[in-house]
Amino acid sequence: MRYIKHKWILIIIIPFFCFIAQSCNENITEVIDIDGTWTKVKSGVTEGLYDIDFVDLQNGWVVGDSGIILHTVDGGESWEHQTCSTKEIIGAVDFVDDKLGWICSRHSILKTTNGGKNWEIVFSEDFGEGYFRDIQFLDENIGFAVGGRESFGSKGVLMKTEDGGETWQQASINSLPTLTHISIVDEHNLWVCGFGGTILSSEDKGLTWKKRNLNISSSPSLTTIQFVDQYYGWVGSRDDWLGFYRTTDGGKTWIQRSNESLKIFGVRTFFFVDALNGLLGTFPGAGSYAIAQTIDGGQTWEFLPEDINVRDIKSFCFINKNLGWAVGFEVINTNVKGVILRYKNIK
């Protein structure tokens, strides 16, 4: 198993940012805190960045607008472009080792067996105004992709492969709205969320799925889901007033977690390192910052300082307790472009 995005548990508390210092390396701006360092690393691209995945300390991939794929073999010190046949937005990436990985663009799934030197389209369908939103693999054979097809993605897509992505089948579950995100703990704990307050779970490697219920009258558009074990999990909504929900009993009951004194403009993404400590990326909004932090399981949140100009975090990924990443968008002189952030704790 790996410390990849939402797949492992990191037993740490991520510290608050305290001040900013300019690095002697002109390509890096350091954000120093009491225990570790966040650095803003130049990627060499201006396109928006949407997802990041590392398989070890050295090998990682970032994907984004206009078919952008970036690859590092030196722990993010340098990034090289990889090419593929699509110029669509690439919204998600997942690797199981330094050779075998998958990406999904708006209407296609692509696979590599040589670390991204070559990418092959293994599935493609015109989803109309809908598109793929996430892809995650349990192992080298079993994987899942979610999204929506037709007008505004109104018909949910939940696809599964059992042969490493060579062939894909739609899951046999009816009346799905757009699905947005996947969380895989192990073969008995698979989770998917989506619009209309949709939460699905599987205990048999995705052979069957059970619909879960938030037990609220409204139908939030859920954007992201994560479980750290079979009991503790969270889902977030893009709707600012519906916010964030937590379960401690494996999804049987959900409790809304919010801080009335803190305005969160919808939940874009989050990453929990354990049952209490996590980071959250919000949707941009007037007066909001990019990253909020919780130390009480999401019941209350505090924004980290705005000084690094990052306004829209799309994805978090931690390799181990001392090394993590985030990607998204930054604002420099009113110009918006992609950004990669790296967290290091050398103690």
Q: Tell me the domains of the chain and their CATH numbers.
A: 56-312 (2.130.10.10)
pLDDT band at 145 (very low <50, low <70, confident <90, very high): very high
The confidence score (pLDDT) of residue 10 equals: 35
CA-nearest of 184, 133, 136 to 156 is 133
The confidence score (pLDDT) of residue 152 equals: 76
Among 23-27, 103-107, 251-255, 315-319, the least confident range: 23-27
262-320 confidence digits (pLDDT tens): 566 678 899 998 888 888 888 765 445 577 778 888 888 777 765 556 778 899 998 87
CA distance 205 to 188: 6
Q: Are strands 291-294 and 278-282 parallel, antiparallel or unpaired?
A: antiparallel
CA dihedral 261, 316, 126, 82 (to 10 degrees): 150
The confidence score (pLDDT) of residue 8 equals: 37
